[in-house]
Amino acid sequence: MKRISLLVSLTMLFIACSGGAKRSDAITLDAGIERKIDSVMAGMTLEEKVGQMTQLALDVIGEGGNVYYSHEPFRINHAMLDTVIGTYKVGSILNTSNNRARTTEVWEEIVRTIQQRALQEIGIPVLYGIDSNHGTTYTAGGTLFPQAIGMAATFNVELMEEGSRISAYETRASNIPWTFNPTMDLGRDARWPRQWESYGEDAYLNARMAVASVKGFQGSDRNRVGSHSVAACVKHYMGYGVPVSGKDRTPATISESDLREKYFEPFRASIVEGGALSLMANSGIVNGVSTHADYRLLTEWVKEDLNFDGVIVSDWADVQNLLSRDRIAASYKEAVKMGINAGIDLVMEPYNTAFCPTLVQLVNEGAVSMNRINDAVRRVLRLKYRLGLFEKPYWSALEYPDFGCAESEAIAKAAADESITLLKNDEGILPLPGNARILVAGSNAHSMRTLNGGWSYSWQGEKVEEFAQDYNTIYEALQKKFGADNVRYEPGVTYKMDGSYDEENEPEISRAVAAARSVDYIVLCLGENSYCETPGNLDELTLSENQTRLALALQETGKPVILVLNEGRPRLIREIEPGAQAVLQLYLPGNFGGDALADILAGDVNPSGKLPYTYPKYEQGLITYDHKPSQNIDGRMEGAYDYGAQTSVQYPFGYGLSYTTFRYDNLTVSQKEFAPGELLTVTVEVTNSGTVAGKETVMLFSSDLVASLSPDVRRLRAFQKVMLEPGETKTVTMPLPANDLAFVNAQGRWTLEEGEFMLQVGTQVETIRCKETKVWDTPSR
């Protein structure tokens, strides 16, 4: 894989964006593909075109049961396949059957059977899609990486791209050319049950990780996606991750400036810079408008403003939900009209074949134009051509000998190593001595399910133990690292694995306390069981009462407690954190999380993860690092109304300790005064001032000191991860386009105002000044 330095890659992007041209103009169509599409569409009936806009779930064509589940072992019901392909001309299938991972051999048989029937019927291959969310979610034996929140904690875009490249290869090995990933919803509310699927709270970090992931999935040529690559689908456009209630698929309220400046930016970057070939719409409601019916966001902002030539796909049954949930349509027919006219090209209507005749009727009545149909079908066919499906609609799994190979697993282990974040290490208690006697306790101490989380062999992750038996839980990994005789296991609290994710068995805290008497250290593993989407909603962000009681009881033994957090979102720990000598955040590290933690506890790996979100301390104190000055007043006001808005957090965004120390010196900026459109260069010296080799993420923050809209207190503008030997110094160079300092004003326009900005890297601070104001007339700056 080519590794281009941050300076070179961003400088090239800056050059491409300069001169007043919109970067989206660089997205070009392949004339040869367009001619082929013209030829195919010329011979298609309206029913065949509508079929290309339809996506059904695999279980619809499975034998036995009903459309919601199939008999095992899975076999295709050929009569139903004839109905789906022959009658309705369906052009896309998604998902696995019975919510279960399949082998590459089974996938090969499934896809080959579907494709042969489609080619026989209309000569157009089916587009198969799947959620490969941290590896091959639904393929047994594949490589599973840390979930997205853990990958964000690495702050390593090269590792992100490589992980997506491996995931793409293994998804293709499953005969599937399209993944519904990456997830780019900003995770700015700790209550949200899909926090762990995001790259955290920051727009810039999300954008950089998303671009790297898209490139890893798709390769370098978006018009000719290679046989080892897949099409990416960036989701869920947009604002899905900040529902007012904190609960999944409930409404969000977002200011117009934040919508453009923060929530839109990762999607813009993934399309314009990454070349993403498809986009999935938000299931929810933003500012009172259902996104699946939002012409402005879907058609104007994406298709028109970005010249997006890919496919916009609905989320699961969300056109139907315009009727049944959002109640903005009086009938299913009206819901279909709304979704299609808003800009949805491919409707994920998983079980409902009524979509096809409904849309045909709408076209015949003139409620949906043939131009809209032809545009959607062209986009779907374009994606199929770009994926090479007309030339090779299915293939042999034997063509992918590196599926689940040791080299890929080594990358997954490295990602887990770099994701784990050391949050506390009082008196340097870590790393532990090699002869340490350890009690491993807690609900997450001996579970592969909790290490992986949702989207792991099944939707909710409840089948992980069946498929991940060859990997090590935390307890097993510590046994292998420190010796079986030195490591005891007494959980004290366990999950009710056949219940909901938050159900626990009757605790046995006294057993864990008794076991602590004969050890030197307690590794206490707490957090969450696996969940995904709406089933993961919660009413209380604090750790469970049983887990809290266990922690306090073990702390009272006087033995040093190393608190290990294995959780999809940051659960509140303020009651138990003071009594822990060390705290590590594992997030959801995947199948190699236990091994990675063992290496860090033993000192064989130096932790380098950084928090990609602000870890809250109080449920009523949820805040992000880029908040407004009024949310963080120092001191108090004078006079009768003596109030402040100081918000206390457990740990700040970007925080993470190491077994070594780093010193920052000599921050310089290429020019102290600048104009819009110019490129600044920021350099800083970073020294490993400790005694252990380590990796440090160098982060560049900016603060707009005065602005016409109250500015964010700080914003991340660049980062770079470097490896330093003890005593080694490196000069880190980061480009800073002046236009990146702009904000979106109250009229929705990008604005860079005259005035001062403070730049900060580590402990180093520098002030620069913009010489003039510029307001952009275009949606992109």
pLDDT digits (tens, 9 = 90+) for 209-238: 999 999 999 999 999 999 999 999 999 999
SS3 label, residue 352: coil
Taking only the tens place, the pLDDT of each residue in 554-586 is 999 999 999 999 999 999 999 999 999 999 999
- Measure the CA–CA gap between 449 and 446, rounded to whole angstroms: 9
Amino acid symbol at 581: Q
Residue 335: burial class (beta carbons within 10 Å; 0-12, 13-18, 19+): buried
- 637 has a pLDDT exceeding 70: no
Confidence band of 3 (pLDDT split at 50, 70, 90) = very low
Taking only the tens place, the pLDDT of each residue in 60-106 is 999 987 999 999 999 999 999 999 999 999 999 999 999 999 999 99
Q: Is 238 in contact with 267 (CB distance < 8 Å)?
A: yes
Torsion of CA 717, 723, 729, 735, to 10 degrees: -20
- Measure the CA–CA gap between 62 and 352, rounded to whole angstroms: 15
Strand partners, 281: 237
Structure tokens at 568: 């999809």
Residue 189: burial class (beta carbons within 10 Å; 0-12, 13-18, 19+): buried
Q: Report CA-CA distances (Å) from 547 to 339, 461, 525.
A: 45, 21, 9
Nearest CA among 370, 371, 310 for reference residue 346: 310
- 772 has a pLDDT exceeding 60: yes
Residue 779 confidence (pLDDT): 80
Model's pTM, two decimal places?
0.95
Helix-then-strand count for the chain, H and E:
22, 29
Q: Is 368 in contact with 359 (CB distance < 8 Å)?
A: yes
Confidence band of 641 (pLDDT split at 50, 70, 90) = low
Confidence band of 7 (pLDDT split at 50, 70, 90) = very low
Structure tokens at 507: 């605790």
Q: Is 376 in contact with 53 (CB distance < 8 Å)?
A: yes
- Measure the CA–CA gap between 615 and 612, rounded to whole angstroms: 9
- 695 has a pLDDT exceeding 90: yes
- 22 has a pLDDT exceeding 60: no
- Measure the CA–CA gap between 592 and 145, rounded to whole angstroms: 8
Residue 232's φ and ψ, nearest 5 degrees, are -90, 155
> SS3 helix, strand, coil % of the chain, rounded to 5?
35, 20, 45
Structure tokens at 629: 């000055």
- Measure the CA–CA gap between 141 and 136, rounded to whole angstroms: 9
Active-site annotation, residues:
315
Residue 134 confidence (pLDDT): 97
- Measure the CA–CA gap between 63 and 100, rounded to whole angstroms: 15
Confidence band of 781 (pLDDT split at 50, 70, 90) = confident
Residue 14 confidence (pLDDT): 36
Q: Report CA-CA distances (Å) from 675 to 313, 678, 734, 771, 774.
A: 41, 6, 18, 6, 9
**H or E element: which one contains 682?**
strand 679-688
In this prediction, residues 262-287 reach a mean pLDDT of 97
- Measure the CA–CA gap between 332 and 316, rounded to whole angstroms: 15
